[in-house]
Structure 1
Amino acid sequence: MAFALAPARLSGGGALRSAPVSVAAGLALVVAHLGRIPVPGFVTTSFSGLLLSLIAVVIIGRFIERRIGHGATLAIGLLATIGAIACAALGSWLFELAGVHMGWGHLTWDRVHGYVTADPAGPAGMRGVARGPLGAGAIGPYPWIAGLVLASTARMSALWRRRLRVGVLATCATMVLFFGHRANIALLAGALIGLVLGVALHAARRERPAHDVGGPVRTAAATFRERRNLIALLLVTVAIGPVLARLVPGADGVLSPLAGLVDRSPFTTAQVAEMCADGQWTRDCLEATERVRLGGIGPMLMALLPSVMAVLFATGLRRGRRAGWIGAAVIVAAWLAAAAAQLIGFGTNGTATATRITWTIAAMAPLLVCLVALLRGRALFRIKAGGRAGPRAAVASAIIVAMGWVGYVLAGLATAGGFATRPGVLALIVDFPRRLVPPRFLGAFDIHAALAEGSGAVGSMPLPLSAPATAVFEWTPILVWTALAVVFWFLLHTPLGDPRAAPSAVTRELIHDPGGANLSWMGLWPENSHWVAASGRAAVPYREIGGVFLTVGEPVGDPTARTEAVREFTDFVLASGGVPCFYSVGEDVRAACEKAGFRSVRVGEETVIELDGLEFRGKKFQDVRTAINRARKEEVTSLWTRWSECPLALKEQIIEISEAWVSDKGLPEMGFTLGGIDELDDPEVRLLLAIDARGAVHGITSWMPVYRDGALVGLTLDFMRRRADGFRPAMEYLIATCALDAKEEGLEFVSLSAAPLASTHPGHATGSDDDGPAGDRPSTSALDSLLERLSHALEPVYGFRSLLAFKAKFQPSYVPLYMCYEESASLGFIGGAIARAYVGEVSTVKSARLVAALGAALRRGHDK
């Protein structure tokens, strides 16, 4: 009954017609298991394996076969199985070749010499079916299951396509690198074959637009949020791989030697005391002494410390926290340095061969890759902890370590009789820092020092024999690290939206009363820093990038203090050795900057809808009225909410739509004055969604508040996303709905924000450029011409000018925005800072993708 449950679920008349391939596969799995028939692709060795396979078949029949078709399911399943068998055989042959010519045995991390070595105790005899890449186990159903799953991603949205591909491939690659079994090689091969066939099949059918689903195998552009998630996933994979390799019997992959860092000791303290009796400090005695210090639950937990802390800091990486990035980089760098230092320190004693060093470097490769990914992605992790959370965490950590240190010394003295050699105060003080380090990181060095210095070095290492002494020795560092982990957890999860905890508390208070400009709320975004005037009447949100202090909008606070704020902020920047630049400021601040000797250039226009007497009537509002009428006809309604109040189902749809939108661009999303998903999580930011009768989200907008003298007077549009295949006039409908609802609420205006490098007056800038000496400035026309060409060049990809034209449907008033700078010689630095603020580090890959995206967009334009 149990074996037939899943096939019966699929074998009904409806299921047989809609998923015949899955029904046949489920029945074949049951027959092969009951009859012990070794059919390749259908071998299951246990009831749990059969049950998991049948559950996967049910999922395939319910979701995948109906999506990609019966014929495609059968063909992909067969090709994935055949390809997996062939690749597993090829991989086995290559590993066998490596074993013959490169010394591949059962690789282990030699704790005495500090490098990877081969176990000569019989690698060939121990491998067999259950061990190593040469194992002859038959191929089970998982390769073709993984292949079908990845094949189906070609018809998924960008978000789930990326998540499934990265998740499945990362899991398969981890199993191959750390476990090394033939079945793992087959699993990775089946997944890759299914991925390629799915993409090819979708491209051949061309059922949907390329920007909606499917897409090439290459990594499409991802949002800041998703890129953080991918780096966090990489860190977790590298961290837990050695642990899994230690838990899985017979793990013998290329990276399995890293499991030696979480190994346990085969000796007891009594055995070691006997081996080291009568002062015979031989190498065997030293090795046994070191190994027993690695035994027990406490040292085992300490051995897991790097993995645990890496997973902890990965939660901070997902949230974009700077503290999480620092902690992750330190953990990975220390892990890599410990392995490299042992190789350097012990790889030159005459016993290390080139082969062993090669395997050692290969085993450290994932740590190096992870560290490089962290360093390259450092710009993604700019969010600092709110309030004084950072200093408080540092003080708390110092107190915890100090208390642990004192406690270890006092407890060690109290249980001194339980050690092999009674330790003194100095010995315990010196030993405590070593207790805080994972024992596998320092073990070989302790042995090396003991061999070099004689028995005195060993005598300085406290060796517990009694239960109380062992408890002090093993559990004091565990308690210290547990307390530190709690401190780090709270540091990584300090709320940023709480005005009392955020570093922008003064700025937030000034934005509320007396108020700021229409775009001032974006100055509260987590990545910004804040300068406050000496009088406390004004504040300036800014970002320091490459020595350029770039303001996020104009100063907030008392309007009469703006001139003073401009002067004081400029003095602050110059005293810091930086270059001041006021970006996206209005006429009043531009005038204040002129008094301070700044020049200016128009960089965009804000569009504002005045709500007094607003009625969407007449021919000029035809598109808006059409959107409202279509929404009513197609049962699309609006929903006001906030991110914290938004149901999980709606949040997932918002994230999915955002990822699809960024993937369509082919480039990472822009930041600085353009918010993303992270900026939605603010208690005062409103969300307005367009939802149909089935609960599907078709469009999302976010609205930032605008205050004057403590009262809400307007709303400013920030986040805009629309489902590619959904209700097309969703944005017109949402903006019109917001305007009408805001008018009913009694607000004065709705700002549609500004589009960078877009203006209704192209080629014409006003400002004080004309006032400077000709030899000390570029001509106004030259600078404007440059901005005009840049706007036209980026238009096919980012569509800023099209966005401004779209906003014209609502007949707004236009408010010019300026960039104010001190001298023309700094324009090159300012331009680079603005580019990095919007798109991050412009790497060679990003530049190539930008050129490719521009070329594709231009070709599309010529084809129309």
Structure 2
Amino acid sequence: MLSDESLRRSGPARPAAGGGPGAAPHARPVWPLALTAALVAALIAVPAFAGSPGWLGRLSELVTGSPLRPEHAVVLALALALVARGVLLRRRAAWYGLVTLALLGLLAVLSGDDPPWRLPLLAAALGGLWLERGRFPVRPHPERVRTAVRTGALLLAAATLFSLVFGGLSVRSVGDVASGLGATGAPMDGASWLPGVLGLAGAAGLLVLVITLLAPDPAPPPGDEAERVRVAGLVLHPGSDTLAPFALRRDKAYVFSADGRAAIGYRVLFGMAVAGGDPVGDPASHADAVRAFLAMCRTTGWRPAVLGASDALLPAWGPCRSIGFGDEVVIRPAEFTLSGRKMRNVRQAVRRTENFGVSSEILPERELTPVLRAKLLDVASRSLGGAAERGFSMNLDELLTGYHPGAIVAVAYDEDKEPIAFQRYVTAGEGVSLDAMRRAPGGPNGVNERLIVEMVEYAAAHGHGLVSLNFAAFRELLDAGERGLLEKAGYRALHLLDPWIAVESLYLFDKKFRPSYKPRSVVFRSWFDIAWLAAALLTLEFGRTRPAQRAAGPITEPVHHLGPS
């Protein structure tokens, strides 16, 4: 039997298209119900505002049944406002909350606490909610439910201990703590200030519980070895994108198209499920992989996003928004030449390394000897100053371990045959993509240019149609001859931040090779997600999460998990 996690990764069944009777219930809009819940929350809050018009107070009693104390009104209004947002996000917990409120109202009528004229109104509300239950596919994750239960139990235990130790509550009156947390106004012994403190703690606890139950699913664990083997096979498909190899990062989870011929690698951060680049595998199944990814996001509550989507696949993302934020830098080996005035800087850089006695070689990563591997890892560590690797959309892991298939290493040696720089490339589809570029401090200038030129020649000799170097973020802004006021401010910000994010310096380095550019976009669900999107993308791309330490000892045998090189 397949687990829930397996079903999510494989991609749930596709809902019926369109908005008619055959359409999936959750395809219909929920904003009317969310707006109604928000209006009810506003009416509940009326007693908290002194001097409200009498007609507004009567409307408030229409939804509450009887006047609320101001403190109750504030807490319930805030809780219901959160529920209204949960309705808009199609959270099943929000539906449960609305049903619970309607049932409590019915019990109040049946017990005589509320007037009987509210009975048909509440019954109609319950009936309507029952009919709309299919619009809320995002069920509370078991971990969120367990967290809510633990939080409630901890709150009750802490409030009881506090009341006994500091509040003067007697042991025989311990049962009154629950009433105090609910701010029911029931009499209780102990200090005069204790009911107010318990009521405040109960209000905060209620809001925390609501937020917890309405939260999206936690981030999933990375894909297992079986899934990664499947993805490695898809990366080798001739139609795979130049960003495809980076789907093999060990921190990514996967969702597959229904036929299993395409997949998307993604990470979840701040509730954003961020895919890196286009799907990998057969282009004919890319759109189906996108549908599976979006369907998974609907059932988990994650906000879908893509960093580095190509223009060709933007239509497959349907109603999602997109922003072009830069270009992938690519060189076509068949068209590359060092001749001409425009390539003078690159020629001079290559000649400079030759004058310094620099030599080089290109070999599969899995053929690195343990001694050479240790020396190259030392170069990598010194190149970063002992800092950690960073990157997401065009950055792989397992540096020089031989873990990833198709990895190629270009190595530069000084005149004493000691390695001073290296670049790692990974193969995918019709080309090779640069993953890591490391040069030891103090090495001669021009080594990186030399290795790139030799890799382009290697790609031409081995039938690779493209060499993807890296990503030029905001290229149009950096390349603009004339800038308006906003463009000047943006350019100035990039220039000042360059020591940390290296956007401008990387663009100027790439520009020397006279490359072609492949536009890439950020895809996201809604403009309301923009703050979370920015936080997630900046953390993924510039957050340093993996230590670049020197090897503790030589690796005697590279791993061979993902198939042949």
TM-score of the aligned structures, taking structure 2 as reference length: 0.53
Paired with 1:677 and 1:598, the residues of 2 have a C-alpha distance of 30
1:614 aligns with 2:333: no
Matching residue of 2:361: 639
SS at match of 1:655: helix
Counterpart residue type for residue 299 of structure 2: A
**Identity across matched positions, percent:** 26
1:549-601 Cα distance to aligned partner (Å, 9 max, x none)? 000111122323333332331121121111000111110122322xx101111
Matching residue of 1:661: 383
- 1:528/1:543 contact within 8 Å kept: yes
1:560 aligns with 2:284: yes
**Which of 507, 513, 531 is the aligned partner of 2:231?**
507
SS at match of 1:693: coil
SS at match of 2:351: helix
**Which of 439, 443, 455 is the aligned partner of 1:722?**
439
Matching of residues 145-224 of structure 1 within 5 Å: none
Paired with 1:561 and 1:696, the residues of 2 have a C-alpha distance of 47
1:678 aligns with 2:401: no
Matching residue of 1:585: 309
Matching residue of 1:103: none
**Which of 411, 425, 442 is the aligned partner of 1:689?**
411
**Which of 536, 541, 556 is the aligned partner of 1:838?**
541
Summarize the Cα distance change of 1:383–1:563 in structure 2 as closer, same or farther, 3 Å threshold.
closer
Shift of 1:536: 1.8
Paired with 1:736 and 1:832, the residues of 2 have a C-alpha distance of 36
What is the RMSD of the two structures over their aligned residues, measured on CA atoms? 2.9
- 1:383/1:526 contact within 8 Å kept: no
Counterpart residue type for residue 795 of structure 1: D
Summarize the Cα distance change of 1:509–1:648 in structure 2 as closer, same or farther, 3 Å threshold.
closer
Paired with 2:277 and 2:444, the residues of 1 have a C-alpha distance of 34
Greater gyration radius: 1
1:379-414 Cα distance to aligned partner (Å, 9 max, x none)? xxx997874xxxxxxxxxxxxxxxxxxxxxxxxxxx
Counterpart residue type for residue 810 of structure 1: F
Provide structure 2 residue ranges, at least 5 long, that are not aligned to the other structure: 1-218, 546-565
The structure that is helix-richer by fraction is: 1
Summarize the Cα distance change of 1:785–1:384 in structure 2 as closer, same or farther, 3 Å threshold.
farther
Counterpart residue type for residue 295 of structure 2: D
SS at match of 1:796: helix
Shift of 1:514: 4.7
1:744 aligns with 2:461: yes
The structure that is strand-richer by fraction is: 2
1:803 aligns with 2:506: yes
SS at match of 1:531: strand
Summarize the Cα distance change of 1:841–1:728 in structure 2 as closer, same or farther, 3 Å threshold.
closer
**Which of 505, 519, 523 is the aligned partner of 1:816?**
519
SS at match of 1:612: helix
Paired with 2:287 and 2:490, the residues of 1 have a C-alpha distance of 28
Summarize the Cα distance change of 1:643–1:799 in structure 2 as closer, same or farther, 3 Å threshold.
same
Summarize the Cα distance change of 1:841–1:626 in structure 2 as closer, same or farther, 3 Å threshold.
closer
SS at match of 2:377: helix
Paired with 1:565 and 1:674, the residues of 2 have a C-alpha distance of 20
Shift of 1:717: 1.0
Summarize the Cα distance change of 1:582–1:613 in structure 2 as closer, same or farther, 3 Å threshold.
closer
Summarize the Cα distance change of 1:788–1:558 in structure 2 as closer, same or farther, 3 Å threshold.
farther
SS at match of 2:469: strand
Shift of 1:686: 0.4
- 1:669/1:839 contact within 8 Å kept: no
Matching of residues 357-756 of structure 1 within 5 Å: 387=224, 501-593=225-317, 596-663=318-385, 668-675=388-395, 678-681=398-401, 682-707=404-429, 713-755=430-472
Paired with 2:248 and 2:232, the residues of 1 have a C-alpha distance of 7
Counterpart residue type for residue 519 of structure 2: P
SS at match of 2:432: strand
1:759 aligns with 2:462: no
Provide structure 1 residue ranges, at least 5 long, that are not aligned to the other structure: 1-381, 388-500, 708-712, 765-780, 843-864
Summarize the Cα distance change of 1:753–1:545 in structure 2 as closer, same or farther, 3 Å threshold.
same
Summarize the Cα distance change of 1:787–1:533 in structure 2 as closer, same or farther, 3 Å threshold.
farther
Paired with 1:602 and 1:386, the residues of 2 have a C-alpha distance of 29
Counterpart residue type for residue 529 of structure 1: A
TM-score of the aligned structures, taking structure 1 as reference length: 0.35
Aligned residues: 322
Counterpart residue type for residue 248 of structure 2: L
Summarize the Cα distance change of 1:627–1:693 in structure 2 as closer, same or farther, 3 Å threshold.
same
- 1:519/1:753 contact within 8 Å kept: no
Counterpart residue type for residue 506 of structure 1: R
Paired with 1:599 and 1:385, the residues of 2 have a C-alpha distance of 27
Paired with 2:441 and 2:288, the residues of 1 have a C-alpha distance of 48
- 1:674/1:719 contact within 8 Å kept: no
Summarize the Cα distance change of 1:385–1:529 in structure 2 as closer, same or farther, 3 Å threshold.
closer
1:763-801 Cα distance to aligned partner (Å, 9 max, x none)? 99xxxxxxxxxxxxxxxx999899766634421223222
Shift of 1:526: 0.8
